[in-house]
Amino acid sequence: MTLTDPAGTDTAPEPTDTDLTALFGPRAVAIVGASDDTRKYGNWIAVQALKGNRPVHLVNRSRPTVLGRPTVPSVSAVGSPVELVVIAVPAAAFEDAVGDALAAGARAIVGISAGLGESGEAGLRTQQRITAKVRDAGARLLGPNCLGVLDHTSGLTLTSNDFPVGDIGIISQSGNVALELATLLVDHEMGISRFASLGNQADIEAADLVDAYVSHDGTRAIALYCEDFRDGRRLARAAERAAAAGKPVVLLTVGATDASVRNARSHTGAMVSSGIVVDAACRAAGMEQVSSPAQMAHLLQALTRSRVPRGSRVAVLADGGGQASIASDCAAAAGLDVVEFPAAVQAAVAAELPPTAASSNPVDVAGGGEQDISCFPRVLDRLTSADEIDATLLSGYFGGYGTYGPELAAREIEAAGAMAALAAGRSAVVVVQTMNWQSPAAAALRAGGVPVYRGIEEASWALGRLARRQATPAAGVPELPPAVAPMTATGYHASRRLLADAGVPFVPALEVATRDELLSAAADLRFPLVLKALGDEHKSDRGGVVLGIPDEQALLVAWDDVQQRLRPPSCSIEEMADLTSAVELLVGVRRDPRFGPIVLVGLGGVFAEILRDVRCALGPVTAAGARALLLSLRGAALLTGARGRPPVDLDAVAEVVARLSTVAGAHPEIAEIECNPVAAAPHGAIALDARIVLRAD
């Protein structure tokens, strides 16, 4: 068996067959549960399937005809090869239907049936047993509990609803989200190349489908709605391959609220990864994460019709002062820089406009459109040829001038074509917002490869996301190091030893359990010393850490006090690090059940949980990656030298992060590993604490 349960525990190896030709381009199809009842999926999918040009066999054990066509009682009774079988029967009959399909030689099965893995332990066991049979037969299973599959390039429609034709590949764990996205894409004059409904991902996972879309010529970008990532790191690698192939993945997921997590678990049995983990995976793989289907549609238009600009310097071109100002503010809010033009650029723009126009940035044509609509492509020509400008944002009324008369309408469409040709010819980044976003001129811009939006917020946001792809390129999905012998002891000093052996620096320390051991250990260390009560995660809050002990007498007083109050099983006695000009940091790794080790860095010490200034990355990280992570903290100025403070040794801190993350990656039995604090000083970094928690499973 090769299964993954909803808790993320692999029970056998993954299938090696990733060829999904039988799923997206079968020569013949059978629909088990085909029905005349218009309330059933078996009816809806059969109606859609019969619109295609391939043989469709309707399977119904009790009716001789369905939809006016003869049926067969089983797939085995078809009498000719059937590569793809869609099963839409009650859960109780699903296993027998799968067995019949496999006996007939099916290479792919789409499970519409619900009430299996998402319904509880009994349903999960049944689903696992069925999946094992499918894999043993060398076939693949989509679903169950899914909406179906579609491929417009092969003429395959096995879904309950129509989808518009286009070049966006959709992978969705929710049928309704996919349908909503499709309607939003229509607003942008876009459509769907392929659609696959994930369902329970008993066999085929999101990663399999992303890889299948990467090799699909009809797909230019991939829209993914996913609640349960299964093997999240494998999905991230697939998304990385998609980005490298020029097919970016736009991800929509849930988990921002407790309610969304509860709902995901209730209808798919999904385990939802935390937002900070998903964000780390997206940054590593080059996935673009959005928060709604509308954002997904907006970004997909920008990604497929435009390109990544060289930088964030944007020119705003408008045909009204108010919209010019609003567009400038929206662009700035999206992280774009509305730069002031150099004198030469201003003069070049002014030469194309009436004297009343504004030729700095933003540019306001001030009625120039009515006088001469060709001023738009002429000004755009000047802007796209300027080295000081990375992108142009057009905002306002363009597309509405055609309502003033047929002659102006024709010239406006001509101007739109010229603007699109300019953008394409120079590989320039041009994004348009117009209140006349469904006009013929807007359609001409879209046809020429220019994204057009109804609202300036959406246009600015989409352009900002394009610029961000240049400013923060994908970090890459790291490979995990080979696993080493697992650790079993996780006490404080055992944790220190494991990390110290990997090169993480610590102050000298000894573990003691008696007063005599304390005095003996103190003789080998230099005062001032630190006494730590062990066995208490929050020992600092409970007075279990005594700092700056100056001599032996003070050490004995501290020992007696800690023993009386806390009665720890043992204590650690350590030399006290020089924290002059040091910044306390939190460095750790958590093993996410879907994405594996996640590296965390943040401002640490006793205020770590209060400040919550933390950044994450897929682990392990290199020293260079760790340095970038540290510099992305909100409080990074404390590390680089703020208000006269000396900068810390970032290279030393980054090396600590990298070494710790490598240890965690090589020990899959570790659930959590943390050093808090790590003292980052101007002349080095040293860990002052260590904690390791093993996985419960």
Residue 589, pLDDT > 80, answer yes
Q: For the chain, how many helices (H) and strands (E)?
A: 24, 29
Residue 144, pLDDT score: 97
The CA distance from 585 to 605, in Å, is 6
The answer to whether residue 48 is domain-embedded is yes
| Helix (H) / strand (E) containing 158 | strand 156-159
Higher pLDDT, 163 or 2: 163
Query: What does the pLDDT look like over 63-97, one tens digit per residue?
Result: 999 999 999 999 999 999 999 999 999 999 999 99
Structure confidence at residue 606 (pLDDT): 62
| DSSP code for 25 | S
Longest dimension (CA), the chain: 101
pLDDT at position 538 is 63
- Tell me whether residue 559 is in a domain: yes
Lowest mean pLDDT, pick from 108-117, 188-197, 638-647: 638-647
In a domain, 487, yes or no: no
Same domain? 224 vs 111: yes
Asked if 85 and 26 sit in the same domain, the reply is yes
pLDDT band at 254 (very low <50, low <70, confident <90, very high): confident
Residue 567: CATH number of its domain: 3.30.1490.20
Burial of 67 (0-12, 13-18, 19+ CB in 10 A): middle
Q: Which two tokens stand for residue 44?
A: 């809806």
pLDDT bin (cut points 50, 70, 90) of residue 264 is: very low
Alpha carbon 614 to chain centroid, angstroms: 18
Measured over the CA atoms of residue 139, residue 143, residue 148 and residue 152, the dihedral's sign is: negative
- Give the tens place of pLDDT for each residue, 442-461: 999 999 999 999 999 999 99
Domain boundary among 539, 559, 575: 575
Both 400 and 270 in one domain: the answer is no
pLDDT of residue 272: 42
Please list, in sequence order, all residues whose beta carbon lies within 8 angstroms of the beta carbon of residue 573, skipping any fewer than 6 positions away.
509, 510, 512, 518, 521, 522, 525, 529, 530, 531, 532, 555
Q: What is the pLDDT of residue 260?
A: 43
pLDDT digits (tens, 9 = 90+) for 111-126: 999 999 999 999 999 9
Q: What is the pLDDT of residues 140-187, one digit of tens each?
A: 999 999 999 999 999 999 999 999 999 999 999 999 999 999 999 999
Do 375 and 452 share a domain, yes or no?
yes
Does 104 have pLDDT greater than 80?
A: yes
Mean pLDDT computed over 471-485? 94
**Confidence class of residue 697 from pLDDT cuts 50, 70 and 90?**
confident
Q: Does residue 588 sit in the same domain as residue 649? A: yes
Query: What's the mean pLDDT when you consider all of the chain?
Result: 92
Minimum mean pLDDT range among 345-349, 591-595, 642-646: 642-646
385, 279: one domain: no
- Lowest mean per-residue pLDDT among 104-113, 326-335, 538-547, 664-673: 538-547
Task: Indicate whether 17 pLDDT > 80.
Answer: no
> CA 453, CA 433: separation in Å to the nearest integer?
5
Mean pLDDT of 669-682: 94
Residues 620-632 pLDDT 10s: 999 999 999 999 9
Mean pLDDT of 402-407: 92
Domain that holds residue 525: 508-575
Q: What's the predicted TM-score (pTM) here? A: 0.90
Q: What is the CATH number of the domain that holds 59?
A: 3.40.50.261
Q: How far apart are CA 584 and CA 75, in angstroms?
A: 67
Whether 485 is covered by a domain: the verdict is: no
Among 259, 107, 269, CA closest to 173: 269
End residue of a domain, out of 283, 303, 323: 303
List Cα–Cα distances, 576 to 274, 499, 508, 551, 686, in angstroms. 37, 19, 9, 12, 11
Q: Are 614 and 601 in contact, with CB atoms under 8 Å apart?
A: yes
Q: Are residues 256 and 403 in the same domain?
A: no
Q: Beta partners for 649?
A: none
Residues 299 and 313 in one domain: no
CB atoms within 10 A of CB 53: 8
Residue 439 confidence (pLDDT)? 97
Confidence of residue 52 (pLDDT cuts 50, 70, 90): confident
| Residue 406 counted as domain residue | yes
Domains: count for the chain: 4
- CA separation for the pair 421, 294 (Å, rounded): 28
Q: Is residue 13 part of a domain?
A: no
pLDDT of the residue at 678: 96
Confirm whether 150 is domain-assigned.
yes
Considering 471, 489, 520, which residue would you say is the last residue of a domain? 471
The 3-state DSSP class for residue 338 equals coil
> Is the pLDDT at 11 greater than 70, yes or no?
no
Look at residue 265 in the predicted model and tell me its pLDDT.
47
pLDDT for the residue numbered 6 = 36
Which of the pair, 616 or 264, is modelled with greater confidence? 616
Checking if the pLDDT of 257 tops 70, the result is no
| Residue 273: band (very low, low, confident or very high) from pLDDT cuts 50, 70, 90 | low
Distances (CA, A) of 120 to 114, 206, 593, 686: 12, 22, 20, 48
260 within domain boundaries? yes
Please report how many Cα atoms fall inside a 13 Å half-sphere around the Cα of residue 211, on the Cβ side. Answer: 15
Whether residue 298 sits in one domain with residue 340: no
Q: pLDDT tens digits, residue range 279-303?
A: 999 999 999 999 999 999 999 999 9
Cβ-based neighbour number of residue 300 at 10 Å: 29
By CB neighbour count within 10 A (0-12 exposed, 13-18 middle, 19+ buried), where does 37 fall? exposed
Note whether 261 and 314 are same-domain residues. Answer: no
* 545 and 619 fall within a common domain: no
Mean pLDDT of 235-250: 97
Q: What is the CATH number of the domain that holds 623?
A: 3.30.470.20
Q: Are residues 263 and 349 in the same domain?
A: no
Percent of the chain with pLDDT over 70: 93
Model confidence at 369: pLDDT above 90: no
